[in-house]
Amino acid sequence: EDKVVQSPLSLVVHEGDTVTLNCSYEVTNFRSLLWYKQEKKAPTFLFMLTSSGIEKKSGRLSSILDKKELFSILNITATQTGDSAIYLCAVNYGGSQGNLIFGKGTKLSVKP
Amino acid sequence: DAGVIQSPRHEVTEMGQEVTLRCKPISGHNSLFWYRQTMMRGLELLIYFNNNVPIDDSGMPEDRFSAKMPNASFSTLKIQPSEPRDSAVYFCASSFSSGGPSAYNEQFFGPGTRLTVL
């Protein structure tokens, strides 16, 4: 069964801390892995990863994919209260661009 | 750009009633997706359309759910009859696909419709 597993399910840190969110997957015919940030509304796109070992970076956020070990991590350095959100990992797989399976998400709470 | 538009934003109904959710994708996008999000199951793809044609509806939970896309700028998701377990946030998303086997094309999500079935 195709699946995407995220850990931890929730995390509470203080401003300035660095966090690492994990996403592992088992799918047939992997195409890409995506990270989304969901605050109170809809998910917003962060990164798409297709190749192993190439870090994607946007400000304090960065992500990397390991296609051999079937996982990805999302790092957030110098966290701020505005980083509080649910971070979703999704994997695009199969023969169609619409096959997208999401993990349950990691709820990050950043305390002042 | 107005983004993906969904209506209503909130819907409260009684068990057995018909519910219709509406979505207007971003102009120029040719793929449209319906998702459901619950605490228990997370975000699930229900159905998606490409060029107004349903491509994959394997995520539709049962016959009570149906979706249509009569034109490139409008889609509906209907639940008839609704049940309490259908309570969830329903998201519509759209993207532009250039066609053929290709990597994922970024999906833009609407604000969602929060459905409560009593």
User: Do B118 and B13 contact (CB within 8 A), yes or no?
Assistant: yes
Composition of chain A by helix, strand, coil, percent to 5? 5, 60, 40
pLDDT for B40: 86
Does A32 contact B at CB distance below 8 Å? yes
Partner-chain contact A95 B50, CB within 8 Å: no
User: Do B106 and B2 contact (CB within 8 A), yes or no?
Assistant: no
For tokens 């999704």, the residue is A90
Residue B1 predicted with pLDDT over 70: no
CA gap B33, B49 in Å, rounded: 6
Residues of chain B positioned with their CB less than 8 A from the CB of A44 = 109
Q: Which of B17, B42, B36, B26 is nearest to B112 (CA)?
A: B36
CA gap B8, B112 in Å, rounded: 9
Pairing of strands A19-26, A3-7: antiparallel
AA letter at B113: T
Partner-chain contact B106 A48, CB within 8 Å: yes
Q: Reduced to 3 states, what is the DSSP secondary structure of residue B5?
A: strand
CA gap A107, B32 in Å, rounded: 27
Cα angle vertex A4, ends A89, B46, to 5°? 80
Rounded average pLDDT over A12-17: 97
Running DSSP on this structure, what letter comes out for residue A91?
A: E
Partner-chain contact B112 A41, CB within 8 Å: yes
Cα angle vertex B3, ends B2, B6, to 5°? 100
Distances (CA, A) of B110 to A21, A67, B25, B74, B78: 25, 31, 8, 13, 17
pLDDT for B56: 80
For A19-76, write each residue's pLDDT tens digit: 999 999 999 888 889 999 999 888 998 988 988 888 999 999 999 999 999 999 999 9
pLDDT for B109: 92
User: Do A105 and A4 contact (CB within 8 A), yes or no?
Assistant: no
For B13-56, write each residue's pLDDT tens digit: 999 999 999 999 999 999 999 999 998 888 888 998 989 999 88
CA gap B6, B76 in Å, rounded: 10
Provide the shortest C-alpha distance from residue B103 to chain A (in Å). 6
Does A88 contact B at CB distance below 8 Å? yes
Greater confidence, B54 or B75? B75
Which residues make Cβ contacts (< 8 Å) with residue A15, sequence separation at least 6? A79, A80, A81, A110, A111, A112
For A63-109, write each residue's pLDDT tens digit: 999 999 999 999 999 999 999 999 999 998 876 555 778 999 999 99
CA gap A24, B50 in Å, rounded: 29
pLDDT for B101: 44
User: Do A92 and A36 contact (CB within 8 A), yes or no?
Assistant: no
Running DSSP on this structure, what letter comes out for residue B111?
A: -
